[in-house]
Every structure is written in structure tokens, then in C-alpha cells.
Chain A
């Protein structure tokens, strides 16, 4: 144990000479006065000097000591061990501030333990040692571009560090950046990578393995703040609407899926019953949900979509637990008066047949186009697509559209490849010798057919079909394909395949120049309409914003003034935005990354748009793992703190300032004592 100073500015100690210098320099120049006889003065001065000189020396000593204490305090002295040569060491601290660090584990919140460990490690450094701080949540951020002697800054940053409910997609990038900084150190400097994390398996395992693989010789010290391998946690896993884009007044089923993560060693058995609360506008519903330990469960709410809203904000919440941040989930469902439908056909006559059906469907707003436009639509009914159209169809499917393709009546070149993911050609079969192909419901469990029970679409089957894809069509469908309707001889009539966020429908009831009944069939209309509606994949949200990675943005309509558009959070607080020129349009972009919650873009008092940002679900599984690192392995936070406490230093500057204050007070008292005595004697 030795005395060290953190700020070796020894010249500051000269400040202790200030009282002496002031005494010598600022001493008033005596004014010369002739006096009749100084005999009496000489007597008095002798007497005064005898009394005052020790006191003056004492005052000077006290002032000097006080100034010396203050000056020494500025050198930031401390008492402790520090064997490492100052200035030769570099510490890169990677502090995990992902969402999982906000969980209460044992008696502490993980983030607090991590900051304590980081501070302790920082205190072990010499003043001239270099340090850098890298955080993991959202976009990985580093305090300095390269390690610097900036302990006070790092301490300040640590003091305000909090776990962020952000995505942990940047963990690997951050770890590799830290390792690169260490590997680029000049010769003669030692470096160490300190990773303080809960080592959540889902987010940390692969990046750590990658780190150890890419930088095998790296000196890594891992400190885990996880007290238990698995923290029991319940999460609202998803909030889905069916249909995801309801029409006004449409019955909607909202499904809230919950998941429970339990410790493997937990002795508790039996299902967990949680209360799930769903808020939809002013409506608040609550239902109990039973889910098995370490399993999943869901609860459904039957609602009606609101009539006069463009967007419907839903919030599902359960009772808080050790990790309350993931117990809430938001969804913003668009509510459109009509769904857009594009009708594409190479032939105007055939297009006319299609439109007779589609335009009579009340919730569809149909556009007739010769080719696929740029803008997205909810539905696309595409007659006789060719092989060249397949990439465009796949792109629309991936974007979430529901595409109904009707095969070429002569030779199919697109529908079969879309269903089978392989090249295939199926020739059309025509009615021969007056034989009609009958249809029957193939997938009775599909909700499409709930409308038609108990009739089994016999009328449709009896309607007569002039041509269809036949032969081997339907024998080599890709997994996931469902035959909704098939002919009595086994040839599929309607097939559905979910693709991405959309769905592909193959309507094997071809429209030909002789097929005038497609539009007249009494059942054809509801079948087409409901098939289209039901085939829309129930997606949680269309364009999910990733918490901590994405910035909220809004494309300003041409007629709107971007300066009047504000972004507000759920509490009504306005968030900073800036205008970005995106091509011809102006885009308003939030200055900060999005945190979980519901945000609204307001144009004056009118709500323009709402966005839900949800907690990154991968952060909810609080399962820790032990990374394989060399050296002393992974330390627990307690051990790391104990090790730091062993070499802990005692900062002396507060004591020095206290001592200086004591000296000043003593000086003041000594100065006042004669006056007080005099007053007493006078009284």
C-alpha cells in the first residue's frame, strides 16, 4: 500500500506558498510619518511583538497548510496498490447494456452490478493508462475512437449507463470492434478486453465464439453479472390480428401469445395462470391465460374493428415480473375502408369477366391494369401470368400481398413453378364429350368454407368448367401448400401457399373465352372474395421497427407542410425530428433510435400515422451461458469486485479538503480570539 497521485501535476504544490507570497508581495508599503517621540511606540511594539509574533507564525503556518492541502487534493492522491507501470496498459471495457441487463437477478439489477464491476476495474488503472468503453445495445457505440486517458469521462458515462430495450443485433460488431482496437495497440503496450455482461445465450454465444475464433490470442477477461443460469420470466411473445388489416366494423380476433421461461432446476410444477389485459382504443379487456412452465400459451380476444379510424392501436400487457420490460406488446393495425385489388389480364375480354366478379365485391377497390404497377396492393388477381412474371409475383408475395393467379388455359408456365418451386408445364384439359368435372371441398377445416356449410359447393361444382389444368398438376406441391378445392378426379381446383407475409392462390378454374360462367356463378363471388380475404397471412405488423436499430420516419405527403408535422410518444412528449430529402419526397426522420412504445405522427391535431415499436423478443430468454475463454475463466461480479477491493484504493482528496477546511476554521478562530477577549474585558 503506497501513496499515489492520479494527477501528477506536482507544480500545483507551489500553491502552498501562496500565503507566504501574499504576505511578502501584498504587504502594504508603509507610509512614512514623522512623530514627535517614538519611545512610547517602541515600548508598545516590543510588547505587541512579544505577544503577536507566535500567533502570526501560527496563522501563517495554518494558511500554508490549508493551501497545501487544497493543492494536494488537486493531485487526486489515493492510498493503494498499483504495481503496473503507469501509462503502459490499455483496457477496453465492453459493457453489455442490452435489454436483458435490466432484469432483476438475485438482489441486484444486472446493469447496476455491471457498472460496479466496470468502475472497480477502472479504479485499478493508473492515470496515464488508456481506456475505452463500448456498449452493445442497438447500434454498438464506443466512447472514444481509440483508447484514451479519459477515466473521468468513462466514469461519467458509466454513471449514466442504463440497460436499453434495444435489439442486440450489433453485439458481434461491437465485440469485433473492441478486439480490433486491442490488436492495433503499438508494441510495448499491454491490453486487455474486459467484457461485463450477463452472457445471455441467445445474444452473446455466437458473437463470443466468433470473437475467440477470429482473435485467438486476445487477452479477454469476462465478468458475468448473471446470478442464476435462467431467470424465470414471462413474455408477451406476439400480438396478432386476424385479419391483420381489418375492414371497419369487421370482426377481428386478437391473439396474444405468451411464453414462459423457467429455470430447469425449478421445483415448481403446474401451469402458470396470468392475467392478460388488452387495450384497444378506449376498450380494455382482461382474460386469464394459462401456460405451461417453460412453454407457450395464448389467449384470444374477439373484437370489432372501429369504424372511423385509420389505425387501431392495440396493447397487450401481463403482470410484471423480474423482467417487466417484455411484459407488454404493441400493435398498430391499419383499418382501410376498402382493400386494393389489382386485376391484370393480357386480354380485355378476359379482364372483363374478372372485373364482373371483383367489382361486385364490396370491400375491394379494383384497378384494371395491363401490367404490374410500382405501388403495392393488398390483392392481385393475375390472369395467365407467364414465366417472366414469376420474379415480380414473388416480390409482391414477399411484400405481403395476396396474389391469385389463374393459369394459362393452354399451357401453364407460371402457376405450377410458383407452387412447386420447379419448372413444370401442365397442359390444360378441355371438356371432352360433355363430361363435366365435379369439385369437392378438399380442405374442410379452412375457414373459407365456413361460409358455405353445410352445402359443399355443389353448385359451383355443377356449374361446369370448360378447361382446367390437369394431368399431374398437384402431385409435387411444395410443403405448405393446401388444396382448398379439388375436382372429383383429384385434380386441385384451388390451392393456397403462404409465401413470406403474403399468400399465393392458384385458381384452377380457368377463365377462357368460352368460360362465361365464372362471373355468373352464384357461389363464385363469395368464394373469390372470402378466399382472398382469408388467404391474407396474419402478420403481426407490416413494417416492424426494430427497437434501438431503426429510426422512425414518415414520408411527408406532397401537399403537407413538414414543419407542422410532429412526432410524439405515448406520453404526448414531442420527439426531435429532422427533414431529409428522399428523392422527390421529403422524409421526416427521428433523431434518436426508437424505443419500445407507440409513436404518433401528428399534423397539427390530426393523427397522420402511428407506429408501434416492440421490445426485442430475443432478449426475453434470460438464459446465461458460460463462454470459453482462457486465463482465469469467467469471473462472477462478486469475485471481480472482491479482487478489485483487494487492490482498492482510498481516495484522499475528500480528507484533504476537510483538513483544509479545518485549518481555515482554526485560523478564523485564532484571529477572532483577541477581539472576543477584548470585548469580554470591556464588558
Chain B
């Protein structure tokens, strides 16, 4: 990892070194790894005793139990496998918005995704990357090598904002690209219809994916700043809207709060993790939560 692209700074790596990407789920991997998997495996973590059945590996018989009880008991251990993390980064035009933060939302999201990718690969897990707007713009299949990580980081570094956002459509399109269930980390501003988002995520939930929603917003999106009359231009559609800020500020803040609340409720009801962060805030609290 010596030639890590500049999107991942050494100080980030130093800080991330103390973290471990460990989403609380049963992984469904085919490589031996650090993550608990369904069934019994060859890890060092004791799972249970069971009666011997013909065909069982004799090495697993606990002879001490046999000596005491004269019964053939097999000592089973937990199965540990690798984790697949699928990173979805919203790269629509709206993610280029930057008003108050030091970075645009896309830069922030890319930076966050790069950190997650580094952390996943560092844990010998596999990471895939999808950049999307209204469709999948870029897909990097899951991998765990340094070269793969470099490819992901390079892709994130040179990520440019695209066209309109259509998160449900993009998720639907990406479904067949994921060969294995894993952890879906979707980084977006989620300025879309909550019900449609829920519908598009259901399919991943049914596949047993753990979904982490990371909402990246600029402070200027939470509260309309300024005064007087403003002409807003939609960064995705180019539509224009002239309004008096004084009339809208309060209503907008309320509406935004309602939207966040709806997203949070939707995530909670579906067992998803939901984080909201602002571009002027550090994203390490998310890693704190993910490592717990």
C-alpha cells in the first residue's frame, strides 16, 4: 500500500489502523477469514458439543469427554469466513454541491468510501465499488488485493459528478452485479423519495445483506442560509426557482428535519444502519459505530 493514491492520506490511514470493519452480521464468504459465518468451521472459537455421527471427522472427537462419559462427543467450532463489502457512492450532479463545508459532498463521500475500502482490504476482506447516478457509472468487482484497492482508490479519486440521481434505479441495476451477499454501504445525500428507496433496498435485505446508509449533506442543505430573494438552480436538472428566503427558511428546515426523520425511521424499521454526516464534520464517528 505504499503507492496509495492521494485520496487516502497517511494520517487517515494511521487513524484508521485502530479500527476494524466489523458489521454485526453473519458473513457468507468462501474464504477463511475473521468474520463469523453460518455453520461450523475450523476456527478456534468453540461452538457446541454434538453426538458423533458416522462420517464425522474423528479428529474432532473430544476424547476427554469420551473418557469421562464413554460417549462419543464431537467438539465443534464456529465457522469464520471473509466479508464482502459493496460500496455504493452516489456520484450524481447534486453531490457536487458545496456551500459551507470544506469539501463538496462528492469529495467527502469519496474520501469516506476510500477509507472504508482501505479498512475492508486491510482486514483481508473483499470490497467492491459502484459509482452511480441514475445508472451504474462504474463497477469494480469485489477484491481484496492491494492492486484492487488501488484501483478502487484511483476510481474514487477521479470521480466526477454525473447527471441526475436515481438511487432506486441504480440499486435495481446493481443487484445482478453482486454475486454474494455482504455489507452494502451506500453513501449518498438521499434526497429522494423514502418509500421508493425502501422498495429498492428490500431486494438486498432479502438476500441477507447488511445495509449501511451514510447520508452526506452540506450544512447549507439543512438550513437555507442568506436572506432576500434567491434564484435556486437545480444542479441536476437545471430547473430554476425564485423565492424569498425569509418565507422559506423555517419551512425548509422543518421539511428537511421531517425527511431525515423519515429516512431514520425507514432504516430502523428495516434493520439498516443509518448515519448522517455533514461535510464540515469528521466522519470518524461513523467508523466508531461500525467497529462496535
> Could you tell me which A residues sit within 8 Å of B by CB distance?
27-45, 47-48, 52
Mask: chain B, 194-212; 1 = CB below 8 Å from A; 0 = not: 0000000000000000000
A35–B251 touching, CB < 8 Å: no
- Known interface pairs A41-B243, A45-B243. Does A32 touch B248 (Cβ–Cβ under 8 Å)? no
Q: How far is it, in angstroms, between the C-alpha of A35 and the C-alpha of B226 when the chains are bound?
A: 13
Complex contacts, A36 vs chain B, CB 8 Å: 94-95, 97, 105, 189, 191, 218, 221, 234-236
B13 within 8 Å of A (CB atoms): no
The answer to whether A39 and B191 touch across the interface, beta carbons within 8 angstroms, is: yes
> Chain B interface (Cβ within 8 Å of chain A)?
94-95, 97, 105, 165, 189, 191, 218, 221, 226, 228-236, 239, 241-243, 247-248, 251-252, 255-256, 259
Instruction: Tell me which residues across on chain A come within 8 A of B235, comparing CB atoms.
Output: 34-37
| A39 to B, closest residue via Cβ | B191
Q: Interface majority SS on A: helix, strand, loop or mixed?
A: mixed
A40–B189 alpha-carbon span in the complex (Å): 13
Q: Given A44-B251, A45-B248, are A38 and B239 neighbors across the interface (CB < 8 Å)?
A: yes
Chain A residues closer than 8 Å to B236, beta-carbon distance: 36-37
The listed residue (A30, A33, A39, A48) touching B251 by CB distance below 8 A is A48
Alpha-carbon gap, A52 to B244, bound state (A)? 11
List 8 extra interface pairs beyond A31-B226, A37-B235, CB under 8 A.
A35-B233, A35-B234, A36-B221, A37-B236, A38-B234, A40-B259, A41-B243, A47-B251
Chain A residue contacts of B189, Cβ below 8 A: 36-37
Which residue of the partner chain, among A28, A31, A38, contacts B241 with CB atoms under 8 Å?
Answer: A38
By the criterion CB–CB under 8 Å, are B252 and A44 in contact? yes
Bound complex: CA A43 to CA B221 (Å): 15
B221 proximity list for chain A (CB < 8 A): 35-36
Q: Can you give 29 A-B contacts (C-beta < 8 A)? A: A28-B228, A30-B228, A30-B231, A31-B228, A31-B229, A31-B230, A31-B231, A33-B233, A34-B97, A34-B232, A34-B233, A35-B221, A35-B234, A36-B94, A36-B95, A36-B191, A36-B221, A37-B236, A40-B252, A40-B256, A40-B259, A41-B232, A41-B241, A42-B241, A44-B248, A44-B251, A45-B248, A48-B247, A48-B248
**Chain B minimum-CB-distance residue to A45:** B243
Q: How far is the CA of A252 from the CA of B196 in the complex (A)?
A: 126
Most buried by B among A27, A37, A42: A37
Least CB distance, A417 to chain B, in whole angstroms: 108
How far is the CB of B192 from the nearest CB of chain A, in Å? 9
Docked CA distance A526–B155 (Å): 149
Q: Give complex CA distance A28, B231 in Å.
A: 11
A30-B242 in contact given A35-B233, A36-B189, A45-B248 (Cβ < 8 Å): yes
Determine the residue in chain B with the shortest Cβ distance to A37: B191
CA–CA, A76 and B251, complex, Å: 48
Closest chain-A Cβ to B88's Cβ sits at a distance in Å of: 18
Chain A residues lying within 8 Å of B218, measured Cβ to Cβ, are 36
Do residues B230 and A33 form an inter-chain contact, with CB atoms below 8 A?
A: yes
- Which residues of chain A are near B97, meaning CB under 8 Å? 34-36
CA distance A47 to B95 in the complex (A): 27
Contact between chains at B248 and A41 (CB < 8 Å): yes
Q: How far is the CA of A611 from the CA of B218 in the complex (A)?
A: 96
**A600 smallest CB distance to B (angstroms):** 73
- Name the residue on A nearest B259 (C-beta): A40
Residues of the B chain whose Cβ atoms lie less than 8 Å from the Cβ of A27: 229
Distance, CA A24 to CA B82, complexed state (A)? 67
Expressed in whole angstroms, the Cα–Cα distance for A669 and B218 within the complex equals: 38
Query: Are A37 and B243 neighbours in the complex by a CB distance under 8 Å?
Result: no
B245 to A: closest C-beta gap in Å: 9
Q: Which of A28, A32, A41, A47 has the most CB of B within 10 A?
A: A41
Q: Given A42-B241, A43-B255, A45-B241: A37 and B231 within 8 A (CB)? A: no
CA A334 to CA B256, docked complex, whole Å: 104
What chain B residues lie within 8 Å of A38 (beta carbons)? 232-234, 239, 241
**CA gap between A43 and B254 in the complex, in Å:** 13
Are A40 and B229 in contact, CB atoms less than 8 angstroms apart? no
In the bound complex, residues from chain B placing their C-beta under 8 Å from that of A40 are 191, 252, 255-256, 259
Q: Which residues of A contact B259 (CB under 8 A)?
A: 40
Contacting residue for B247 out of A30, A31, A52, CB 8 A:
A52
Name the residue among A38, A40, A43, A52 with the largest chain B CB count within 10 angstroms. Answer: A38
Q: Report the bound CA distance from A52 to B243 in whole Å.
A: 12
Question: Chain A CB within 10 Å — which of B191, B230, B232, B256 has the most?
Answer: B232
Whether the Cβ atoms of A37 and B241 lie closer than 8 Å is no
Q: Give Cα distance in the complex from A45 to B256, angstroms.
A: 14
A497 smallest CB distance to B (angstroms): 104
Nearest-Cβ distance from residue B163 to partner chain A, whole angstroms: 13
Docked pose: A31 CA to B248 CA in angstroms: 15
Closest to B193 in A: A39
Q: A43 to chain B: which residues have CB within 8 Å? A: 255
Bound: A32/B229 CA distance, A = 9
User: How far, in whole Å, are A48 and B250 apart by their CA atoms in the complex?
Assistant: 12
Chain B residue at minimal CB-CB distance from A32: B231
Residues on B with C-beta less than 8 A from A39 are: 191, 234
B243: nearest residue on chain A (CB-CB)?
Answer: A45
Tell me the nearest residue of chain A to B247, going by C-beta: A48
What are the 3 tightest A-B residue pairs by CB atom distance, in nearest-first order?
Answer: A36-B94, A36-B97, A30-B231
Q: How far is the CB of B155 from chain A (nearest CB, A)?
A: 23
Chain B residue at minimum C-beta to C-beta distance from A44: B251
B232 touches A33 (CB 8 A): yes
Distance A39 CA – B229 CA, assembled complex (angstroms): 18
Q: How far is the CB of A84 from chain B (nearest CB, A)?
A: 55
A30–B229 CA distance with the chains assembled, in angstroms: 5
In the complex with contacts A36-B97, A37-B94, A28-B251 CB distance below 8 A: no
A37→B93 CA distance, assembly (Å): 9
Q: How far is it, in angstroms, between the C-alpha of A501 and the C-alpha of B165 when the chains are bound?
A: 122
Could you tell me the distance between the alpha carbons of A44 and B249 in the complex, rounded to whole angstroms? 10
Name the A residues within 8 Å of B239 (CB-CB): 38, 42
- The CA of A508 and the CA of B255, in the complex, are separated in Å by 131
Closest A residue, CB atoms, query B189 = A36
Cβ distance A647 to chain B, nearest Cβ, rounded Å: 54
Contacts of B255 in A (CB 8 A): 40, 43-44
Chain A nearest Cβ from B230, distance in angstroms: 5
B264 to chain A, nearest CB (A): 17
Asked if residues B228 and A41 are in contact (CB atoms below 8 Å), the reply is no
A52 neighbours in B (Cβ, 8 Å): 247
Per the bound structure, the CA–CA distance linking A38 and B224 in Å amounts to 12
- A40–B243 CA distance with the chains assembled, in angstroms: 13
Q: How far is the CB of B287 from chain A (nearest CB, A)?
A: 25
Q: Are A41 and B252 in contact (CB under 8 A)?
A: yes
Complex CA gap A42/B229 in Å reads 15
Q: Which residues of B contact A28 (CB under 8 A)?
A: 228-229
Complex: A44 Cα to B256 Cα, angstroms: 11
Q: Which residues of A contact B248 (CB under 8 A)?
A: 41, 44-45, 48
Per the bound structure, the CA–CA distance linking A37 and B96 in Å amounts to 11
How distant is B133 from chain A, measured CB to nearest CB, in Å? Answer: 13
Tell me the bound Cα distance from A41 to B226 in angstroms: 15
Least CB distance, A683 to chain B, in whole angstroms: 16
How far, in angstroms, from A31 to B245 measured CA to CA in the complex?
11
* A38 to B231 alpha-carbon distance, docked (Å): 10
Q: How far apart are the CA atoms of A30 and B97 in the complex, in Å?
A: 20
Q: How far is the CB of B162 from chain A (nearest CB, A)?
A: 14
**Cα distance A33–B248 when bound, in Å?**
15
- The smallest beta-carbon distance between B218 and chain A, in angstroms, is 7
B228 to chain A, nearest CB (A): 5
Residues of B within 8 A of A44 (CB): 248, 251-252, 255
Tell me the bound Cα distance from A39 to B94 in angstroms: 12
Bound CA–CA A35/B259 (angstroms) = 17
Rounded to whole angstroms, the CA-CA distance of A424 and B22 in the bound complex is: 160
Instruction: Report the Cα distance A345→B233, complex, angstroms.
Output: 124
Q: Please, how many angstroms separate the alpha-carbon atoms of A33 and B165 in the complex?
A: 20
- Chain A hits for B228, CB < 8 A: 28, 30-31
* Distance of A31 Cα from B241 Cα, bound (Å): 11
Which of chain B's residues have a CB closer than 8 A to the CB of A35?
A: 97, 221, 232-235
